[in-house]
Amino acid sequence: MGAGTAAVSTYRIPVVEKLNSFVERIGNLAAWVNVILIAVILASVFMRYGMNQAMVTLEELTWYLYAVGIMFGLSYGVVKNSHIRVDILHSKFPRKLQYAIEIFGLLFLLLPFAIVIFHHSLEWVWDSYAMNEASSSPQGLSHRWIIKSVIPVSFFLLIVAGIARLIQSFVLFRHDHDAPQPAEPSGRISLLRHMFSVQAHQNETSTEEKH
Domain ranges of the chain: 2-83+92-178+203-209
C-alpha to C-alpha distance for 88 and 169, rounded to whole angstroms: 20
C-alpha to C-alpha distance for 163 and 79, rounded to whole angstroms: 10
**Cα separation values, 146 from 40, 41, 76, Å:** 18, 20, 21
Q: What is the pLDDT tens value at each position of the chain, 211 positions in all?
A: 444 333 333 568 899 999 999 999 999 999 999 999 999 999 999 998 888 888 899 999 999 999 999 999 999 999 998 887 767 787 788 888 989 999 999 999 999 999 999 999 999 999 999 999 999 888 889 999 999 999 999 999 999 999 999 999 999 888 754 444 444 444 444 566 667 767 666 554 444 444 4
C-alpha to C-alpha distance for 169 and 53, rounded to whole angstroms: 54
Q: For position 200, what pLDDT does the model report?
A: 63
**Chain Cα centroid distance, residue 6:** 32
Three-state secondary structure call for residue 149: coil
**Cα separation values, 152 from 125, 157, 159, 164, Å:** 8, 9, 10, 18
Q: For position 89, what pLDDT does the model report?
A: 80
